[in-house]
Structure 1
Amino acid sequence: MSFSQNREPITIEDGFKLIDAAVTKLTRIIEGKPEPPFLPEEYIGNYTIVYNMCIQKPPHDSSGPLYEKYGAILQAYDKLTILPSIMEKHDEYMLREVSRWWEINKIMVRWLSHFFYYLDRYYIARNGIPSLTVVGMTCFRDHVYEKVHFNVKQVVIALIHKEREGQQIDRALLKNVLDLFVQNGMGNMERYEKDFEDFFLTETNSYYSRKASSWIQEDSCPEYMIKAEESLKKEKERVSHYLHSDTEPKLVANVQTNLLVSVAKQLLEKENSGCSALLRDDKTDDLSRMYRLYHAIPQGLEPVAVAFRLHVTAEGNSLIKQAEDAATSGIVEEQVLVRKIIDLHDKYMAYVTDCFQNHTLFHKSLKEAFEIFCNKKVAGSSSAEMLATFCDNVFKKAANDKSNDDSTIESTIDNVVKLLDYISDKDLFAEFYRKKLARRLLFGKFSDDHERSILTKLKGQFGGQFTSQMEGMGTDMQLGKDQQTGFEEYLKNANTGKPKGVDFTVTVLTTGFWPSYKTSDLNLPLEMVNCIESFKAYYEIKTKHRRLMWIYSLGNCNLTARFDAKPIELIVSTYQAAVLCAFNHTERLTYQELIDQLNLSHEDLVRVLHSLSCAKYKFLKKDPASKTISKTDSFEFNSKFTDKMRRIKVPLPPVDDRKKVVEDVDKDRRYAIDASLVRIMKSRKVLPHQQLVSECVEQLSRMFKPDIKMIKKRIEDLITRDYLERDTENPNTFKYVA
Structure 2
Amino acid sequence: MSLRSKRVVFEKVFAEFRQDLEKMFNFSGLDRVSGMKMYQLVYDMCTAAPRPHTEKLFNAIADFLNDYTIQIRESILDHDDVVSAYAREWKHYSLAAGYSSMMCEYLNKLLVNGTKDNKSRGMVDKKTTVQGGNYRRQTVQALAYNIWKKQIVYTIKEKNSDRFMRQIFELIRRDRDGEDKVPDIVSDAIMSLVELTEHPLSLYIEEFEKPYLVHTRRYYERESATVIANASISEYMKKASQRLDEEVTRNSKYCHKSSHDTVIKECETQYVAAHQTRIQGEFGAMISNERYEDCTMAYTLLSRIPDGVNPLLEIFERYITNIGNGLIIRMGNSIAKDPREYVEFLLDHHSKYLTVCQKVFVNDAAFVAAVDKAFRTIVNDVTINPVAHSPEVMARYCDVLLKKTHKGGWSEQEVEDKLNRMIILFKYIEDKDVFQKFYSRMLAKRLIYGNSASEEAEANMISRLKNACGVEYTSKLQRMFTDITISADVNKDFAEYVKTNPMNTGVDFSILVLTAGAWPLTQVLTTEFQLPTELEKSVTHFSTFYNSKHSGRRLTWLWHLSKADVKLTYLDKRYEFSVSLHQLGVLLLYNDADTFTFKEIIEHTGLNDQELKRVIKPMIDLAVLIVSTPGTFNDDTEIRLNMEFTNKRNKIKVSSSLQAETQQENDATRKAVDDDRKLYLQAAIVRVMKSRKTLTHQQLIKEVIEQARSRFTPSVPMIKKCIEQLLEKQYISRTNENKDKYIYMA
Give TM-score, length-normalised by structure 2: 0.88
What is the match of residue 208 of structure 1? Answer: 220
Unaligned runs of 5+ in 1: none
1:48 aligns with 2:40: yes
CA distance in 2, matches of 1:44, 1:400: 101
What is the match of residue 231 of structure 1? Answer: 243
Identity %: 27
Asked if the contact 1:54–1:61 (Cα under 8 Å) also holds between the matched residues in 2, the reply is yes
What is the match of residue 637 of structure 2? Answer: 633
CA distance in 1, matches of 2:388, 2:600: 39
* CA displacement 1:511-570 (0-9 Å, x = unmatched): 121103334521111011122112112212321132110001111122223455644322
1:464 aligns with 2:468: no
* CA displacement 1:6-28 (0-9 Å, x = unmatched): x5x43xxx423542464356436
1:442 aligns with 2:448: yes
Q: Which amino acid in structure 1 is aligned with residue 630 of structure 2?
A: S
What is the match of residue 106 of structure 1? Answer: 94
In structure 2, do the counterparts of structure 1 residues 62 and 139 end up closer, same or farther at CA, with 3 Å as the change threshold?
A: same
CA distance in 2, matches of 1:273, 1:156: 43
What is the match of residue 395 of structure 1? Answer: 402
Unaligned runs of 5+ in 2: 115-123, 127-136
* CA displacement 1:554-599 (0-9 Å, x = unmatched): 1112222345564432221111111222233234433333323322
What is the match of residue 687 of structure 1? Answer: 695
Q: How far is the alpha carbon of 1:383 from its aligned partner?
A: 0.8
> The residue matched to 2:324 in structure 1 has which SS?
helix
* CA displacement 1:336-361 (0-9 Å, x = unmatched): 11111111122222223344343321
What is the match of residue 411 of structure 2? Answer: 405
> The residue matched to 1:558 in structure 2 has which SS?
strand
What is the match of residue 168 of structure 1? Answer: 180
* CA displacement 1:402-441 (0-9 Å, x = unmatched): x742221111111111110111111101110111111111
Q: How far is the alpha carbon of 1:669 from its aligned partner?
A: 1.0
CA distance in 1, matches of 2:652, 2:667: 31
Give the one of 35, 44, 57 matched to 1:66: 57
Q: Which amino acid in structure 1 is aligned with residue 181 of structure 2?
A: I
Instruction: Map 1:269-418 onto structure 2 (within 5 A).
Output: 269-270=281-282, 274-278=286-290, 283=292, 292-295=300-303, 299-324=307-332, 327=333, 331-377=336-382, 378-397=385-404, 404-418=410-424
Q: How far is the alpha carbon of 1:198 from its aligned partner?
A: 2.1
What is the match of residue 649 of structure 1? Answer: 653
Cα RMSD of the aligned pairs, angstroms, is 2.8
Q: Which amino acid in structure 2 is aligned with residue 638 of structure 1?
A: N
Q: How far is the alpha carbon of 1:100 from its aligned partner?
A: 2.5
Instruction: Map 1:558-573 onto structure 2 (within 5 A).
Output: 558-563=565-570, 566-573=573-580
* CA displacement 1:443-496 (0-9 Å, x = unmatched): 111111110111111111111111111111111111222222222222233222
Q: Which amino acid in structure 1 is aligned with residue 637 of structure 2?
A: D
Give the one of 194, 200, 204 matched to 2:206: 194
Q: How far is the alpha carbon of 1:364 from its aligned partner?
A: 0.9
Q: Which amino acid in structure 2 is aligned with residue 598 of structure 1?
A: T
CA distance in 2, matches of 1:504, 1:116: 116
Q: Which amino acid in structure 2 is aligned with residue 99 of structure 1?
A: A
> The residue matched to 2:427 in structure 1 has which SS?
helix
Asked if the contact 1:498–1:530 (Cα under 8 Å) also holds between the matched residues in 2, the reply is yes
Asked if the contact 2:111–2:139 (Cα under 8 Å) also holds between the matched residues in 1, the reply is no
Q: Which amino acid in structure 1 is aligned with residue 513 of structure 2?
A: V
Q: Which amino acid in structure 1 is aligned with residue 148 of structure 2?
A: F
In structure 2, do the counterparts of structure 1 residues 398 and 608 end up closer, same or farther at CA, with 3 Å as the change threshold?
A: closer
What is the match of residue 431 of structure 1? Answer: 437
What is the match of residue 117 of structure 2? Answer: none
What is the match of residue 602 of structure 1? Answer: 609
CA distance in 2, matches of 1:130, 1:486: 108
Q: How far is the alpha carbon of 1:290 from its aligned partner?
A: 5.2
What is the match of residue 81 of structure 1? Answer: 71
Q: Which amino acid in structure 2 is aligned with residue 212 of structure 1?
A: S
Q: Which amino acid in structure 1 is aligned with residue 421 of structure 2?
A: N
Q: How far is the alpha carbon of 1:335 from its aligned partner?
A: 1.1
Give TM-score, length-normalised by structure 1: 0.89
What is the match of residue 2 of structure 1? Answer: 2
What is the match of residue 14 of structure 2? Answer: 19
CA distance in 2, matches of 1:301, 1:338: 31
Q: How far is the alpha carbon of 1:701 from its aligned partner?
A: 1.3
Instruction: Map 1:474-489 onto structure 2 (within 5 A).
Output: 474-489=481-496
Of residues 159-168 and 364-373 in structure 1, the stretch that sits farther from structure 2 once superposed is 159-168
Asked if the contact 2:626–2:639 (Cα under 8 Å) also holds between the matched residues in 1, the reply is yes
> The residue matched to 1:635 in structure 2 has which SS?
strand
Asked if the contact 1:618–1:638 (Cα under 8 Å) also holds between the matched residues in 2, the reply is yes
What is the match of residue 39 of structure 1? Answer: 32
CA distance in 2, matches of 1:631, 1:481: 43
What is the match of residue 590 of structure 1? Answer: 597
Of residues 188-197 and 659-668 in structure 1, the stretch that sits farther from structure 2 once superposed is 188-197
What is the match of residue 82 of structure 2? Answer: 94
CA distance in 1, matches of 2:284, 2:736: 64
CA distance in 2, matches of 1:430, 1:347: 28
What is the match of residue 705 of structure 1? Answer: 713
What is the match of residue 189 of structure 2? Answer: 177
What is the match of residue 548 of structure 1? Answer: 555
